[in-house]
Amino acid sequence: MKLVSTLRTLMQMRHFFATLRNQQFHEAFEIFKSLNLLPLRQEEVNEKESCYKDLDAILKEQIPALLAGSVRCLYGMHVRIKSEARSVDASVEFHLKDLQLKARILYIFAGLTDMPSATKQEIQRIRNNMI
């Protein structure tokens, strides 16, 4: 049964990356959220870290790419919101800050789970562009 679940998750990841490549950031982010593998809120960090340790090795190998891809997705949404907003009112500012916070949480998760330094550096580089 675990094999079926792993295969299903891998197929969803593949769909996430295809959607991200097509720059359909909102849709890609919805797919990412449905995977439910990585934290998006501070309260989820410890739980997701524990779950990460129990992941199938095949899925663990894909997590660095998923982390980087999810932050690229957040950045794409950030850029799109900034470019489409006529003015940066309170609701736009809140949304932009929320995207920045989600990227920060993913960066923290990357550090806690000892992701490769290249992954952490890429996430940090993208985060720096979200200011």
Side-chain-facing half-sphere of 95: CA atoms under 13 Å = 15
- Helical H segments across the chain, by residue range: 2-21, 25-35, 45-53, 57-84, 90-112, 117-128
pLDDT for 74 equals 98
pLDDT for 32 equals 98
pLDDT in tens, 47-98: 999 999 999 999 999 999 999 999 999 999 999 999 887 777 888 999 999 9
Q: How many CB atoms lie within 10 A of CB 57?
A: 7
pLDDT for 90 equals 86
- Structurally, the chain folds into a number of domains equal to 1
* CA–CA gap between residue 29 and residue 73 (Å, rounded): 6
Domain interval for residue 105: 2-128
pLDDT for 125 equals 97
pLDDT for 89 equals 85
Residue with tokens 């992954």: 119
Whether the predicted pLDDT of 113 surpasses 80: yes
pLDDT for 131 equals 83
Whether the predicted pLDDT of 25 surpasses 90: yes
